[in-house]
A and B are shown apart, each in its own frame.
Chain A
Amino acid sequence: MSNPTTAASSGAAQLPTLRKAVVVGGNRIPFARTGGAYAHSSNQDMLTAALDGLVARFGLAGEEIGEVAAGAVLKHSRDFNLTREAVLGSALAATTPAYDLQQACATGLETVLGLSNKIKLGQIDSAIAGGVDSASDAPIAVSEGLRAILLDLNRAKTTGQKLKILSRIRPKDLSPDAPSTGEPRTGLSMGEHQALTTAQWKISREAQDELALASHKNLAAAYGRNFFDDLVTPFRGLSKDSNLRGDSTLEKLASLKPVFGKSLGAAATMTAGNSTPLTDGASTVLLASEEWAAARDLPILADVVDGEAAAVDFVHGKDGLLMAPAFAVPRLLARNGLTLADIDYFEIHEAFAGTVLSTLAAWEDEEFGKTRLGLDGAFGTVDRSKLNVNGSSLAAGHPFAATGGRLVATLAKMLHERGQVDGRPARGLISVCAAGGQGVVAILEAR
């Protein structure tokens, strides 16, 4: 395995001077718990709704956008051109190119980074990044056995051949194959993986419940002061994230039974309250060059400064499945000559409360800093008053590919409102973990 320090030391000094990519704004639909308000809405419906709202908010009807990129983690094969189809169904000019991207839960953030890079390079002047996911309208495939038989059947020429092939069908072939959040290489669900990591870092049940409660309180407060008015467009009668429980209490959270890591016995701490539920939703972010935004008299909320991806070797337990951001953030900050103390807002995606807390614990751990990050000691401490201050996935829910867009638009607006800190633009860090042991992180700065 490569030593993370090599990446950290490959300095930013050689980077050519690029023009800036800025966040103009965002739009998402409220996130809904699976089987709820969007139970019958397809990915296409939701992505189109998020896009429609963005087009309306920024007067983009008839505009040819440089490129649109979005994706879905749970995707029907018929939706191979999901994003392009959503563009064609929108008021954007039909000459707007689009592509689908998939990097599990990091999909949304990766679309922002990829498109920002194209803007910085001058390849495009404007872009829409986004993501959508429906756990309600998930694709269900025929079993592998039946699939093989049907494909053979398609190739058969004579009736005799066809009958012979059909006779191979067994009852077990008829049970459908539904998607799961299990890791193909370990057979463990994401929650079971995190339960191991949570136990490894000795994260207490109370600490997880407190983080979950803060997420609900912060998100409710943000809705209360109308923070999301220009970030969210109602859909299907929903105007707030349906998972939000602003009146939750530590007592209520403490009363829930563990759902993950039950084999750990007394060490089982992860409940439905401190884990994100399956969620449906979609988000979009409008990115641009400064010139493009200025020419249209559009706001500029933040610069997309830099991004970094990392992956961990989780398969045999060297690192936790969702711990890649613990490596990506130190590399990203080092490249930009920053430390945790230089960050004013942390948006650390709450896949599980345990994920956030394990990451923070790793950064505070001297041993981890020395042996895994190649530093002199611990990486540092995150000031908890700067963490997920407007709530995060535990409260809002987490429609996999849509979370990146939610984070970027939310953080960009927070940074813009904050403006300057100590004579420099307010700075925010986004961290998203993803299936397959991956993570994508990014830095945004206020405008």
Chain B
Amino acid sequence: MSEDTQLNEMPSLSKLYVNAAATAARSRLMRSEPVVALPARAVEVRGVRADLAKVTEFAHLMGEPARDVLPSGYLHAFAFPVAMSVMVQEDFPLPLLGMIHLRNQVEHFAPVLFTDELSVRAWARDLTGHRSGTQVQLVAEIHNADGTELLWRGVSTYLAKGVFLPGLDKPGATAGRTDFVPPVPTAQWRLGVDTGRAYAAVSGDFNPIHLSVLSAKALGLRRSIAHGMYAAARVLATVPPSKPDAFSWDISFDSPIFLPATVSLEVLDRRADDGVWLGSEFTAWNAHTARRYFSGSVAAGCP
């Protein structure tokens, strides 16, 4: 891997989004040949800390008590600007704006406290074809300040819809959509039209597809959609209510949650004979159309 890019401070997401728009325009004009490889550099920022006020707002928005241990979803939001910095690099092959969130795989190796000084490192990997475009994985890792202990790792899979890069294998024909029969829900979320703006305010992720009908339409969506990480963080707020030191989770998104929405959710817990929580599976779907929004699992320990 070539030399990493060191950032002096946590980059501003709003500036990154502006840069992303500029880069998108420029690359359309300038690039004669599409780039088909990922930048080899990782981007890193050291000596950063969580913003306690934001942590508290984040937890309260998710309906969980604000603790000194940072919520899983908050850690994703915390590392996200570094991951974005990877994606706005000049030689990143896919347009950042309008990318669709397919999956998150997260491992917590140890609790992260709001007082901890942290370093965040992110890089891209696995640029591959997808039946409707090109997908890529962004890996973000949170270490302690001197980088000696890995505390958290998140792997996000994104899809650039309609972007087909030469030479990338596409998986075989459209994977047949499995018929989804909604189970009996264990919970229901009523998400207002402001859900995207509320999550943007606590996470800093002001991606226009989440903010308003107009800004979403500008990027080709019929209405604004909820952040995938909002959904994940909200599940994680109560599953399990009290987190083990090490745990992992995985969420796959099937369809966007257009706002407003009524989301039905089923959570199934797995417990040992003595009642100790081992893991949970969750599935969410549109309460009216029965279309599946997302599904995933949470488990004690890291695989």
Residues of B contacting A235 with CB < 8 Å?
68
Interface 0/1 of A85-121, CB less than 8 Å to B? 0101111011000000000000000000000000000
Question: Of all chain A residues, which has the CB nearest B272?
Answer: A62
The reply to whether B66 and A89 form a contact with Cβ atoms under 8 Å apart is no
A89 and B65 form a contact (CB under 8 A): yes
B residues neighboring A (CB under 8 Å): 52-53, 56-57, 59-60, 64-68, 114-115, 241-242, 274-277
- Is A45 touching B65 in the complex (CB atoms < 8 A)? yes
Q: Which chain A residues border B241 with CB–CB below 8 Å?
A: 88-91, 94
| B66: contacting residue among A41, A88, A234, A237, CB under 8 A | A41
- Which residues does chain A contribute within 8 Å of B52, judged by CB atoms? 236-237
How far, in whole Å, are A66 and B64 apart by their CA atoms in the complex? 24
Q: Which of A32-83 contact B (CB under 8 A)?
A: 40-42, 44-45, 48-49, 52, 55, 61-62
Instruction: Look across to chain B and name the residue whose beta carbon is closest to the beta carbon of A91.
Output: B242
In the complex, 22 of the A-B residue pairs with CB atoms within 8 angstroms, ordered by the A residue number, are A40-B56, A41-B56, A42-B60, A42-B65, A44-B65, A45-B56, A45-B59, A48-B65, A49-B65, A49-B67, A49-B68, A62-B276, A62-B277, A86-B65, A88-B241, A89-B64, A89-B65, A89-B242, A90-B242, A234-B68, A235-B68, A236-B52
Complex CA distance for A234 and B68, rounded to whole angstroms: 9
CB distance from B8 to the nearest CB of A (A): 25
Chain B contact residues: over half helix, strand or loop, or mixed? Answer: loop
Contact A48 B60 (CB under 8 A): no
Contacts of A91 in B (CB 8 A): 241-242
Residues of A within 8 A of B275 (CB): 62, 93
Which of B53, B67, B115, B276 touches A52 (beta carbons < 8 Å)?
B67
Asked if A45 and B67 sit within 8 Å, CB to CB, the answer is: yes
Shortest Cβ distance from A392 into chain B, in angstroms?
27
Q: Smallest distance from the beta carbon of A281 to chain B beta carbons, Å?
A: 15
Residues of A within 8 A of B66 (CB): 40-42, 45
Contact residues, A330-356 vs B (CB, 8 A): none
Q: Chain A, 289-317, contact with B by CB distance < 8 Å: what is the 0/1 string?
A: 00000000000000000000000000000
Q: In the complex, what distance in Å separates the CA atom of A392 from the CA atom of B290?
A: 58
Task: Other than A45-B67, A55-B242, A89-B242, give 9 A-B pairs with Cβ distance below 8 A.
Answer: A42-B65, A45-B65, A62-B276, A86-B65, A91-B241, A91-B242, A236-B68, A236-B114, A237-B114
- Give chain A's interface residues, CB within 8 Å of chain B: 40-42, 44-45, 48-49, 52, 55, 61-62, 86, 88-91, 93-94, 234-237
Query: Would you give the shortest CB distance from B281 to chain A, in whole angstroms?
Result: 18
In Å, the complex CA distance between A44 and B65 comes to 6
- Least CB distance from B43 to A in Å reads 29
Smallest Cβ-Cβ distance to B241: which chain A residue: A89
B138 to chain A, nearest CB (A): 31
Contact status A40-B53, CB under 8 Å:
yes
Q: Which residue of A lies closest to B274 (CB)?
A: A62
Total inter-chain residue pairs, C-beta < 8 Å: 48
Please indicate the chain B residues that have their CB under 8 angstroms from the CB of A90 in the complex: 241-242
CB distance from B286 to the nearest CB of A (A): 27
Residues of chain B within 8 A of A41, CB atoms compared: 56, 66
Shortest distance between the CB of A167 and any CB in chain B (Å): 27
By beta carbon, the residue of chain A nearest B59 is A45
- In Å, the complex CA distance between A86 and B114 comes to 21
The contact of A237 among B53, B57, B67, B115, by CB within 8 Å, is B115
A63 to B, closest residue via Cβ: B275
In Å, the complex CA distance between A89 and B115 comes to 22
Whole-angstrom CA separation of A49 from B67 in the bound complex = 7
Q: Whole-angstrom distance between the alpha carbons of A235 and B115 in the complex?
A: 11
Minimum distance in angstroms from B86 CB to a CB of chain A: 32
* Chain B residues with CB under 8 A of A40: 53, 56-57, 66
In angstroms, Cα B66 to Cα A237, docked, is 13
Q: Which residues of B contact A94 (CB under 8 A)?
A: 241
Residues on the A chain within 8 Å of B277, using CB: 62
Complex: how many Å from CA A64 to CA B173? 52
Q: Which of A44, A61, A237 contacts B242 (CB 8 A)?
A: A61
Shortest beta-carbon contacts, A-B, top 6: A91-B242, A48-B65, A45-B66, A45-B65, A40-B56, A89-B241
Q: Which residue of B is nearest A92, CB measured? A: B242
Expressed in whole angstroms, the Cα–Cα distance for A344 and B229 within the complex equals 57
* Bound: A121/B274 CA distance, A: 28
A94 to B66, CA, bound (A): 19
Complex alpha-carbon distance, A42 and B59, angstroms: 11
Nearest residue in B to A87 (C-beta to C-beta)? B241
Determine how close the nearest CB of chain B comes to the CB of A368; give it in whole angstroms.
Answer: 46
CB distance from A44 to the nearest CB of B (A): 5
> Which residues from chain A contact B276 at a C-beta distance below 8 Å?
62
Q: What residue of chain B has the Cβ atom nearest to residue A90's Cβ? A: B242
Residues of B within 8 A of A49 (CB): 65, 67-68
- In the complex, how many angstroms separate the beta carbon of A50 from the nearest chain B beta carbon? 11
Q: Which residue of A lies closest to B269 (CB)?
A: A94
Chain A: minimal CB distance from B227 (Å): 22
Query: Closest residue to B271 on the A side, CB-wise?
Result: A62
Q: A236 CA to B241 CA in the complex, in Å?
A: 20
Give chain B residues whose Cβ lies under 8 Å from the Cβ of A42: 60, 65-66
A62 to B275, CA, bound (A): 7
* B53, B56, B59: most-surrounded residue (chain A CB, <10 A): B56
Residues of B within 8 A of A45 (CB): 56, 59, 65-67
Residues of A within 8 Å of B59, CB to CB, are: 45
Q: Cα distance A61–B66 when bound, in Å?
A: 19
In whole Å, how far is B186's beta carbon from the nearest beta carbon of chain A? 13
Residue of B nearest to A44 (CB): B65
Q: How far is the CB of B128 from chain A (nearest CB, A)?
A: 40
CB distance from A233 to the nearest CB of B (A): 9
User: Inside 8 A of A93's CB, which chain B residues have their CB?
Assistant: 275
Residues of A near B60 (CB, < 8 A) are: 42
B242 near A52 with CB under 8 A, answer: yes
Most chain B beta carbons < 10 A, residue from A234, A236, A237: A236
- Among B52, B115, B242, B274, residue most surrounded by chain A Cβ atoms (within 10 Å): B242
